[in-house]
Every structure is written in C-alpha cells, then in structure tokens.
Structure 1
C-alpha cells in the first residue's frame, strides 16, 4: 500500500517492521546554514543580462515571487551527525536483507556522513559514491563553482543485493565517433558520474518545493536497485519525487516528512496513486525491536 506519513521520521521509522523495505533513498537537509525557500523566476532575452545561455546569448533573471520570511525550512544543525545517526540506525534495521540505501548529500558533509555510515552498515557494505553533476546556477569567482552532489550507496549485505543494470536507461557516448555507429546509437550504461540537469525553475516538473530533485535520477535508482512489487521508503520525502519514481515503475512507496508544506505538495502530486494518508506522533508510535547502538553484522 502506498503511504504518505506526516510526522517525525524517527518516530515513523521506529514503527516500521524490521527488514520490511527493499530500497531506501534519503535526501536529508545538507546543513548549509541557510534557510531553504523557493523563488519563482523567469529569464528574459537581454544582451546586458546577468546569464549566458546557448550560443552565447545573454538573459536577464527576474524574480516573480518568493516564499515569505519564516517559510521553507531551516538547514542548520548544531549536531548534524547526532541528528542523522538514530535515523540511519533505524534505516539499517528496516532494510531488507538484499536491500540498498542511497544517501544524498553534498560536499560539505559527505566525508563525515560516510564515516558514520561505514560504522552503521560496515565498510564492506559500501558499494559506490555516485556523483550527480549538473551545470546550472551561479558561478563562483574565488573558487571552482560547486556543481555536483554526492550519493552514497550502501547495501545490507556486501555481496547479495539487487542490481538490475539491464534496467538502466542508457546515455550517449562522449566520443561516439570512436565506438562505431551501432554502439553510438544504442548508447552506454552510466558510470558513477551521472550528468543530469537540475529541475528547471520554470519547467513542468517543478512542484514548488525548494530542494526538489530530478525524477530522472530517482527513476534510475528505483529501476536498477529494486524489483516490481517491492517497497521504497523515503523518510525525508520533500516533494515526493521518490514516490513518483516508485509508482511509475510498479513499486509501492512510503513517503515521510514532518513538514506540512511538503505533505501538501506530495498529496497533490501523488494523488493519482491513491496513497493512504497518516499522521504519526511520538506518542502514537508502535513499540518495535530496536537495533543496538553499534552496527549489526550483515546477514
């Protein structure tokens, strides 16, 4: 059954059965120290503009609307790892024996988060660091512009996990002339560097959620790392992109977020898939067996 759960994700995780989820994707706050909110913008052709587009054409950016002060969400933590650790311990507990966790973060925190995940899952269960590379947004002038995110892939078992590479989309060769016409037409499977544009600020995919991730990224993860009929969990669900990817490919989803604004976006976006709506508080959570503070050995 598809579910949208409004509540603290730690309480929700503690109420899930052990080994009941085949794939987990999470995109937690990045601890940027900023308040995340969405601007509505448009670009206008202007030779004196602040942006350069295709063919060297210049454009001017206009802000149409911005969320008022106090909305969005605060992305600053005194103890970021202390916030994440109990949630990821629960994620390890609820993950199925052949399941995978995808943890989406950026360059500021990825090193610390990887050490923590190595402790929880075991270094032998670390499979890949995927680099999502894009080319959009402001350009730094005092350092190389940061135009990538990091996605850490861990499995419950170091050797037994779902990886259906033949289900992946294919991408163009960077030098098609070197591989021949047939291979160039077919394309190749992706590597651990995924070039994919961000969600366009003015595109149809945009939902209004400040940190929405592209559907193409989530569809690749869902298709390759789960099977039809399995359950996909996102406990920092935001705009619900993980749920859309899961439902479009025959998986069920559990989307969790404590933000009423995020839940409202998901309810509208996922209505076609008839999810059950729930609200969970700490007082209502079910008692379940808990994982010990240290990591469990792979089964």
Structure 2
C-alpha cells in the first residue's frame, strides 16, 4: 500500500499514474469524500469522431488557447459503464463508512453513470446540477447548459451538519481554466465543503488539480491521481501556489 497520504506539512498530494492502478495501492477506509471528473467519452457522433483527439471534440473553433491532450475519452457506453464500475468499487473500498462519492457527467452519459455508481456498491442519493452560464443556444432546442454530479454514499449517512443546495451556477472563466474540460475552482470549493475542515478528499482524475486547489483553499486535505505527466505537473504547481 502507498504511504503518500497527506500530512500536516503537505495537505495535498499528487500521485502520477493510471487511476485504477493507483487506487489499488491506497489503504482501506480513509477518505471522507470522493470527487471525480472522469473523461466523459461522450464527444463525437460516429466511431471515427469518438477516436479523435479531445481538442477536436470539445474545444470551440474560436478558442485560441491550446490545452494538453488527455487519454481515456474514446470508450463506447458499454465499456464506459464497465470501466467506471471498476474504479468506483475501489473508491468504495478506500472510503470511510458514510463517505460521499460524486461523479461528474454530461447529459449523454448521465444514465450509465447512475448505473455505474450503483454497480460500484454506492447508495445512490441523487444528482447535483452544475449550471454553466453562457452555454451556446441551439435554434428550436433547449440549450445543454448543465452538467451533473451523480452522488451517493458508502452505506448510511447521518442527517447532521449544514444543508447544501442541489444546484450551483458558476461560469467557466479563462484565467481559471487550465484543462480542456476543467471545472471552475469556485464550483469545487462549494462541493468540498460537504465534509468538515480537515476532511480527506480523493480525486482519481485530477487533471489540472482544481479539486486540490479547492481543498487547500477550504482547509481540507486531498489526494489527486493524474495519469498525464504534463497535467500532474500543472496540478502540483497550482496547489503549491495556494499553499505558499
């Protein structure tokens, strides 16, 4: 088992490696919150589109800023559900009784993400909505202006502590965006507050480290797992800037 969990002097740790393999090396029953933003594998309309580079699938044509690419975004829905169940089983193992697990998804993968959470052994509790102001309108259609956090608990969870809303509205701002599919820091700060100060958070798909930044800003601890060496370096740099 790994010993590189957070300490008082280093409250956020970044593990560079593939998520499932890294999870297998973490100890049982230590995390208060699992907060994952996996590759959605939802971009593209054909097999060829799905296999394309992520920047071609998700980056707007008018956006000049380029982000490092990332892997793992080419699974079909059946593979995505099976793969998600595998790492969600391990997330359950490393979490404390009553811990919360939240998994980000979009409208396309929402049904299979709900299935995968339950297949992983979590008690399904509902969906938190993230509204993204500024989403592109579509003529004659409803705009896809939201993404979702499917969440559940490791068994029962006591009704105690502060209540939290079931939806949040935070725009994606370019100075705060360090990953092609990065979430706003303010959104992640709202979410990590669901556990008390000092609580331990796990993000298995850390990207540019926004969960770790949010945890540090809110007085929580975090373990971040990121497969891309380039993004792991960005995550370490961003976290270090907050902890100075």
Q: Distance in 2 between matches of 1:236 and 1:162?
A: 29
Structure 2 counterpart of 1:152:
150
1:95-244 matched pairs, under 5 angstroms: 95-122=95-122, 125-141=123-139, 143-160=141-158, 163-165=161-163, 190=165, 192-197=166-171, 199-201=172-174, 204-207=175-178, 209-223=179-193, 225-244=194-213
1:261 aligns with 2:234: no
Q: Distance in 2 between matches of 1:271 and 1:193?
A: 30
Q: Distance in 2 between matches of 1:158 and 1:226?
A: 15
1:78-93 matched pairs, under 5 angstroms: 78=76, 79-93=79-93
Q: What is the aligned-residue RMSD (CA, Å)? A: 2.6
CA drift of 1:16 comes to: 0.8
Secondary structure of residue in 1 paired with 2:64: strand
Higher strand fraction (1 or 2)? 1
How many residues of Structure 1 are paired with residues of Structure 2 in the alignment?
Answer: 223
- Relative to structure 1, the CA distance from residue 119 to residue 147 in structure 2 (aligned partners, 3 Å threshold; closer, same or farther) is same
Structure 2 counterpart of 1:3:
13
1:50-98 CA-partner distances (Å, limit 9, x unpaired): xxxxxxxxxxx95435459xx4446211411122121110001111112
CA drift of 1:230 comes to: 1.9
1:198-221 CA-partner distances (Å, limit 9, x unpaired): x223xx3222x1011011211111
Give 1 or 2 for the bigger CA radius of gyration.
Answer: 1
- Relative to structure 1, the CA distance from residue 137 to residue 231 in structure 2 (aligned partners, 3 Å threshold; closer, same or farther) is same
1:9-62 CA-partner distances (Å, limit 9, x unpaired): 111111111111111100111112353239999xxxxxxxxxxxxxxxxxxx95
Higher relative contact order (CA 8 A, sep 6+): 1
Secondary structure of residue in 2 paired with 1:127: strand
TM norm structure 1: 0.67
Unaligned runs of 5+ residues in structure 2 are: 1-5, 7-11, 43-49
Structure 2 counterpart of 1:292:
none
TM norm structure 2: 0.81
Secondary structure of residue in 1 paired with 2:92: helix
> Contact 1:121–1:155 (CA<8 Å) still a contact in 2?
no
1:130-184 CA-partner distances (Å, limit 9, x unpaired): 111123243323632211111111111223377533xx6xxxxxxxxxxxxxxxx
Unaligned runs of 5+ residues in structure 1 are: 42-60, 169-189, 276-299
